[in-house]
Amino acid sequence: MTSSNLTFRPATREDLPAIVALLANDALGEKRENHTLPLPASYEAAFTAIDQDPNNELIVVDSPDQVVAGVLQLTLVPHITYQGGWRAQIEGVRVAANLRSSGIGKQLLLWAIGRAKDRGCHLVQLTSDKARPDAIRFYEGLGFVPSHEGMKLHLDASVDDSTTPASALLRPVQGDSQD
Amino acid sequence: MTSSNLTFRPATREDLPAIVALLANDALGEKRENHTLPLPASYEAAFTAIDQDPNNELIVVDSPDQVVAGVLQLTLVPHITYQGGWRAQIEGVRVAANLRSSGIGKQLLLWAIGRAKDRGCHLVQLTSDKARPDAIRFYEGLGFVPSHEGMKLHLDASVDDSTTPASALLRPVQGDSQD
């Protein structure tokens, strides 16, 4: 599969059932997703949030034989680190089961890397579950380096709530804010 | 150090020199940052982008003795995965060298976790350089699980440009987008 017979485009709301079906058709995804129709409203709300945010792009790839043959989300994030550099983050990569190993996944990632360059990013990052060694090798083959631990904290787990509540966010600072 | 004598607040533009100085005062950061004054314009531009984005929060903590005793960036991201769940991502965590091991770092992270809950996130995630084993242990102590590889691709490295250019983003899809 080369890029010439693939179409990369922003997802539309009408693609959402196909996207969720892709995400659910996976050993890890099947435990997390719910692709019964109509979809849970939370999917629609997330689509709206992504669609309205110029720094989030939900991208699908269409092959000659299948609309929504693959999907990924690209998030562009401004950071102070690296002298104010922008990063692109990739999440939710999935290719249709019948098309895996066809090269579509590679083309989708290469497209996303090109998009990140066009958007002025100096770095593309993603995390890959250590339970997916094939995926990790795939990303290494594209030049990604597993230099970091990807650490997750699920908030249904217990969290020490003794900290200052976030409602104190707007508490005014005492004194001059320069030092 | 408890949270009661700390103030957590959004950074202001006037904090930027102190924030960049913190980021530069670190074995990895000193190679990446430039805290000569006036700061490179790229820092100001990144601050503006963060400040204008309701889903990005640059948070500083003030201690009784030091304004901008620590900093982190919290990015809230809507995703289709996990049934349209929002995630909070933490980047650029740094505490002033003279205050490390004082407990400020822990309080800053606990504050950010509380903020992520308040913003409706189901997951907090971060990546930590494998060259920082102390940091990884610190995050594990807060409940973070190193379940993922954190993979980075620096775009000054060579990238296969044979993919479809991102300018094809808006190429219309052929056919019906539902399947």
For residue A159 the two structure tokens come to: 């969290």
Confidence of residue B131 (pLDDT cuts 50, 70, 90): very high
Residue B165 has pLDDT above 50, yes or no: no
Q: What letter does residue A46 receive in the DSSP assignment?
A: H
Residue B9 has pLDDT above 80, yes or no: yes
- E strand or H helix at A114, and its extent? helix A104-118
Q: What is the pLDDT of residue B4?
A: 77
**Nearest one of B129, B132, B19 to B67, comparing CA atoms:** B19
Residue B169 has pLDDT above 60, yes or no: no
- β-bridge partners, B62: B7
Per-run averaged pLDDT (10 residues), chain A, 179 residues? 86 97 91 93 97 97 95 98 97 93 94 97 98 96 98 74 41 30
What's the distance, CA A29 to chain centroid? 14
Cβ of residue A25 closer than 8 Å to a chain B Cβ: no
Mean of the pLDDT values across residues B10-28? Answer: 95
**Nearest one of A90, A86, A115, A163 to B73, comparing CA atoms:** A86
| pLDDT tens digits along B42-97 | 999 999 999 999 999 999 999 999 999 999 999 999 999 999 999 999 999 999 99
Mean pLDDT of chain B: 88
Q: What is the pLDDT of residue A176?
A: 28
CB contact under 8 Å between B20 and A80, yes or no, is yes
Q: Which residues contact A79 (CB under 8 A, 6 or more apart)?
A: A85, A86, A87, B46, B50, B73, B91, B92
Q: What pTM did the predictor assign?
A: 0.86
d(CA A117, CA A62): 22
CB B57 within 8 A of CB B44: no
Alpha carbon separation from A25 to A92, A95, A96, A102 (Å, rounded) = 12, 9, 8, 17
Q: Which residues contact A122 (CB under 8 A, 6 or more apart)?
A: A82, A85, A86, A87, B154, B155, B156
Determine how β-strand A86-95 pairs with β-strand B121-129. unpaired
Mean of the pLDDT values across residues B167-176? Answer: 34
**Nearest one of B40, B151, B155 to A84, comparing CA atoms:** B40
Q: What is the pLDDT of residue B1?
A: 65
CB contact under 8 Å between B45 and A126, yes or no, is no
- E strand or H helix at A71, and its extent? strand A70-78
Q: What is the pLDDT of residue A157?
A: 46
Residue A113 CB-half CA count within 13 A: 24
Q: What is the pLDDT of residue B28?
A: 85
The ipTM value here is 0.85
If one compares B10 and A100, the residue with the highest pLDDT of the two is B10
Phi, psi torsion values for A12, nearest 5 degrees: -105, 165
Q: How far is A133 from chain B (nearest CA, A)?
A: 10
Cβ of residue B37 closer than 8 Å to a chain A Cβ: no
Cβ of residue A117 closer than 8 Å to a chain B Cβ: yes
Mean of the pLDDT values across residues B16-24? Answer: 96
Which chain A residues contact residue B4 at CB under 8 A?
Answer: 164
Q: What is the DSSP string of A6-33?
A: -EEEE--GGGHHHHHHHHHSSTTHHHH-
